[in-house]
Structure 1
Amino acid sequence: MNPIKGTVNSVELIGWLRDEPEERFATNGMAIASFSVATKRRTIQQEDGTWMYETEWTDVEAHDKLAETVTMNLKKGSRVRVSGSLLTNTWQDRNGLKHKTTVVRVEDVMFLDIKMSMDDAVMAEASD
């Protein structure tokens, strides 16, 4: 990603997957894995002094080889750290109505609940 001078488009989330990643393929054959990440945010303080927490669901997309890795390694409830940038997808439906959705386009994902042996970690680093 090449940043444009004077702008920042950066997102980092640590949370849990809502469902299994859904894999699909673009017209050019590139794999795309879509999933939602749950995070918590603190909201209005209650009268008794306690805070309420709300779940925020963020739609995420991984592309190409990262999509394949995500699809093979993540499942519903997996804890992840994703970093990337916001991407707005636009399309027109059969009735001619225009639609827009904004997702996080993943550039890096860390699997937080996968336990690797030392040998597995060394092999993963060697393959990068």
Structure 2
Amino acid sequence: MAATNINRVVLTGNLTRDPELRSTPGGMSVCSLRIASNTRRKDGATGEWGDKPNYFSVTVWGAQGENCARFLSKGRPVCIDGRLEWREWQDQSGNKRESIEIVADAVQFLGGRDDAPMGGGGAGNGFAPHSDVPADTSDFAPQPVGARNSAPADDDIPF
């Protein structure tokens, strides 16, 4: 039985620049993104924890790339689901060059369109989660001492 290889990347971070949209000679849209994602590291000298940014190049093809160019901008938090791809080429001087990029299968836009890009005071790379669905917190309201809900009837037990 042959072993199965898995090449999968899931990454969240913030855009370090505005998306760049271009087209191939065949008319296919391709969008280039640059993502910064922090890693927490402990400084050996001071013993304090700090963020170390990691930068990733991301390629998004087709209509999804067009949407990225239309709706995303520098500082916006995103989640990328894709695969790593290694490329090599020769530059104009004849030197061998290589790079590793992420080819996105899916891009999830995080935050809201009007959210402040960076340093919004929230946790998680400037992303403050929110929902359009109102939360019903009435079940968590404190009850007066001695108050007790009636015990469930036998008909209410689901088994």
Instruction: Supply the AA of the counterpart residue of 1:110.
Output: Q
| 1:48/1:95 CA distance change after superposition, 3 Å | closer
Could you say which structure has the larger radius of gyration? 2
Could you tell me the percent identity over the aligned residues? 28
TM superposition score normalised by structure 1: 0.78
SS, match of residue 66 in structure 2? helix
Aligned to 1:56: 54
Give the deviation of 1:92 after TM superposition: 2.6
Aligned to 2:88: 90
- Structure 1 residues 38-47 or 7-16, which shifts more? 38-47
Q: How many residues end up aligned between the 2 structures?
A: 114
Give the deviation of 1:26 after TM superposition: 1.9
| 1:45/1:98 CA distance change after superposition, 3 Å | closer
Aligned to 1:39: 37
Residues 1-128 of structure 1 aligned to structure 2 (within 5 Å):
5-46=3-44, 49-114=47-112
SS, match of residue 66 in structure 1? helix
Question: Contact 1:42–1:54 (CA<8 Å) still a contact in 2?
Answer: yes
Equivalent-residue separation in structure 1 for 2:24 and 2:77 (angstroms): 27
Structure number having the greater strand percentage: 1
Question: Contact 1:79–1:113 (CA<8 Å) still a contact in 2?
Answer: yes
Aligned to 2:141: none
Give the deviation of 1:48 after TM superposition: 5.2
Equivalent-residue separation in structure 1 for 2:80 and 2:103 (angstroms): 9
TM superposition score normalised by structure 2: 0.64
Question: Contact 1:46–1:52 (CA<8 Å) still a contact in 2?
Answer: no
Q: Which runs of 5+ in 1 are unaligned?
A: 119-128
Equivalent-residue separation in structure 1 for 2:23 and 2:95 (angstroms): 23
Equivalent-residue separation in structure 1 for 2:99 and 2:46 (angstroms): 38
Question: Contact 1:60–1:106 (CA<8 Å) still a contact in 2?
Answer: yes
Equivalent-residue separation in structure 1 for 2:3 and 2:28 (angstroms): 29
- Structure 1 residues 65-74 or 24-33, which shifts more? 24-33
Structure number having the greater helix percentage: 1
Equivalent-residue separation in structure 1 for 2:61 and 2:4 (angstroms): 26
Higher normalized contact order (CA 8 Å, seq sep 6+, divided by chain length): 1
